[in-house]
Every structure is written in structure tokens, then in C-alpha cells.
Structure 1
């Protein structure tokens, strides 16, 4: 199965030159699955430390249009996230478009609170849980950005028979610890794990570093996005997943533990 992941520019809209160029690169790959970065359309909200209703509504609108734009790519499975209203704030909602049908996946649970990433000011969790999305062939789990740092959920997805874990993220230029965390998520789950990031400057306060990457079920690096190519693909081997999930440490069972 061919998986394509991207790094999209800060402030991307569903129309215009940037989207048209990115769209043509995506289409030329002929993917079966597309993975985007975290809330890929519009401006990054959490650069500001106070919630702003007008900005929140603008982001919701941008992503509503973007869902339609993603459907028009005619890719069998698209994996992304978008803001939705929850309790006078927002939830960061992961979703799948499966043959054009919108399917809820997960809402982000873990929120940083620091310069450029004041997410607790903007986001809440309206629906709890870390559940796999199951399609005809592919089972997928989401970890939205910071959630990657909590390996128990990657392992939980393995117990739900996931083949692929996707980590849409929005992170700065340093990426080594992200690569380490993605590798560990692959090792403990026996899944393919892929992370996509946004790239570019957000006002005068923040620079997103791009650099998406994919790891195989044994924790080895498959590929990453170079600075001159925001669209990269790899092939998922279901047999490799099945075999790796029988190996150490995937087969090790917890005794008396429950994920909260």
C-alpha cells in the first residue's frame, strides 16, 4: 500500500498557487493513503496566548473548505486534523476521509503551554479515547503531535491491530527528539509510523521546521522530506507488520495496567 506524507506551508489555503503546486505533487504520486500535518490549513492559532473568537472561526472555516479540497483529490484514504468548536474553545480533531466519507478518529488530549504553542488557551478535548480507525485493508491510529511523547498510546494501538500510526504535527526546527519518539512508537507498536509537519514562518515569533519522516515497524528510518521536496512516499508491507508485532517488545503483555 502506497503511503504519501507531506509538509505544507504555514498559512496554506484551499485555493491559490501554493495549494495548486502541492496538489499536483500529491496527485503525481498516486497515493492510496495521504497523511497531512496537524491542522494544515490557515494560520497556526496557538502562537497567541489568548483565545480569539474571530481567529478560531476563521480557522474552522478554512478547514471546512479544506475538507472539500481534500475530498477532490480522490485519494482512497486521507488522514488529517482540523479545529472544531467545543465548550467555547476548540478541539483538534483527527479524521479520515475514506473514499470521500468523513470519519471521526480522535481529539487531541495533550496540550503544551509555552511560547508559540499556547494550546491550553485554545483547545479542549470534547471526545475522549484513542481508538483505531478500521478500513477494508488498513487499521490506523492517530497521535496528534505532543501525544507522540506518551508511548503507552502507540502500544495501545498495537493491541487494537493497527498497521499504521500517523502523527500530524506542528513543531519548530529541531527535530531529533521527534525522530527518536517516532522510532520508539514504531518499536513498541510494530506499526509503520509516519509524521508530517508544517514549514515556514508564523509572524515574527515562530518558525516551523518541516521535516516529515516515516519509520518501519522495526524502528528503522524509511524516508524523510528533504528541503526541496514536500511530498514523499513509501510502501506499507502488511506482512512486515504482522511479523514484527510477534517480536520483542511487541508481544510483551502488561499485567494489571490500564491506560487512562
Structure 2
């Protein structure tokens, strides 16, 4: 199964170019599954500590329009997150787009930071702490949205649900990429799944503090590919059967 991860420039003047460049890459590599970053299709709302309903609605509408174009990739499935409203409460919501199917929403972000450049708890509410899998054909997919990756009990829970992919859509800062990659390797080992991550990227001092770096890591913690400023989109082939077998090997088989 071919999968694609990326670092994605979401500045207002760059989103369309980023999208079309990713479309070209996915089509050229005939990728089956694409992971896009956290709230990838509009400027990063949580850079400001002054939330407004107008900005939230605009971002939600922009994501809705871009999600309607995901068939342009030519992939079978695409995952990301989007701003949503549920009974009047704002949520950062994971979605799974699949060819010829209705959009699936399956997780709202639970672990919310609230600090300079990342005022997430100020902008939106926590979800319901449900970390269940979504399915693409026979592939079971778990998601930990950005900060949630560091709470490894979620990765362990996905191991018990026999997830094949652990997707980590991110919005994380410059200067932290090696730390995040280390965490991604640990999450892959704990879950016994391929850990995929895509991140937002604005060049340093030319936008919001969004540092890029995407990755594909196998269930043993081996880094198979990284997306970087020099190569913002990468596609690799993974073995779903290996993720299935990994649930029966160390440390996944060890009882709690």
C-alpha cells in the first residue's frame, strides 16, 4: 500500500499552490492513502489568543470547499482534521475521506495545549475522549492529533484495537522537529502500527511558527521517509501485514 505524507504551507497566499503541488505528487506516485496536516487548508487559527466566531466560520467553510476537492488527488483515501461545530461547541475534528463514500468524522481532539502560538484550548473545546479506529477497506486507522501523540496510552489503546496505521496530523513549531520525530518512533513501537505524520509549514519568520517535517515510521520504529523543506511530499510503500503481525511481538503482546 502506497502512502503519502507531507509538510504543507498553509499561508493564505500559498494554500492553493501547496494543494496543487501535492495533487501532482500523489498522482505521479499513484499513492493510495494521503495524510494532510492538522487544519491544513486555512491559516493556523491558534496562532492568535483572540478567537473570533468570524475567523472560525471562515476556516470551516474553507476546509469544506477544499475537502470537496480531495478527489483531485486520485487517491483512494485522505485523512486530516478540520474546524467543526457540534451543538454550539467548536471542535478540531479528524475526518477520513474515501473515494465514492460520504465523509467520515471519527475523533475530536482531546488533549489541547494553550500557549504562545498554540492557543488551542482558547479557540475550541475538547472532544469526548473517544479514540476509536476508522476503516479504509480492511485497513484499521487510528489518529492522535498532534499533542495527543505524547499521551502514549492512546497508542497502546490503538494497539489493542489492532490499528494498522497511526496517523498524527500536526501543527508544531520550528526547532522541535527532532523531538517530534523521536515521539513518532515511540508511538509506532507502542502501537505496533505504521506511524504517519504530516505537519504545517511556514518558512521561519515568514508566517506562523509552523516548523514542518512529516514522516513514515514502521512498527519497529524505523524511519522509512521524512518530508522536509527540500522534499515536502514523500510517498513510500508499506506492508499492512507487517503491522498485523506486529501486534503479537514485543512490546505489544505484554499484558498491562
Superposed, 1:1-260 pairs within 5 Å as 1-11=1-11, 16-86=16-86, 88-101=88-101, 102-173=103-174, 174-201=176-203, 206-254=208-256
Native 8 Å contact 1:46 1:116 kept in 2: yes
Q: Structure 1 unaligned runs (5+)?
A: 255-260
- The alignment partner of 1:213 has SS state of strand
Distance 1:206-1:14 versus aligned 2 partners, 3 A rule: closer
Distance 1:154 1:134 in 2: 17
User: CA-to-partner distance for each residue in 1:151-170, whole Å, 9 max, x for gaps?
Assistant: 01011011111000000000
Answer with 210-219 or 10-19: which moved more. Answer: 10-19
Distance 1:63 1:205 in 2: 20
TM-score (norm 1): 0.91
Native 8 Å contact 2:195 2:218 kept in 1: yes
Instruction: State the shift of 1:202 in Å.
Output: 8.9
Count of aligned residue pairs for this structure pair: 254
Distance 1:196 1:79 in 2: 10
- The alignment partner of 1:117 has SS state of coil
Instruction: State the shift of 1:235 in Å.
Output: 1.4
Native 8 Å contact 2:110 2:128 kept in 1: no
Answer with 230-239 or 76-85: which moved more. Answer: 230-239
User: What is the alpha-carbon root mean square deviation over aligned residues?
Assistant: 2.0
- The alignment partner of 1:43 has SS state of coil
Native 8 Å contact 2:7 2:228 kept in 1: no
Q: Structure 2 unaligned runs (5+)?
A: none
- The alignment partner of 2:69 has SS state of helix
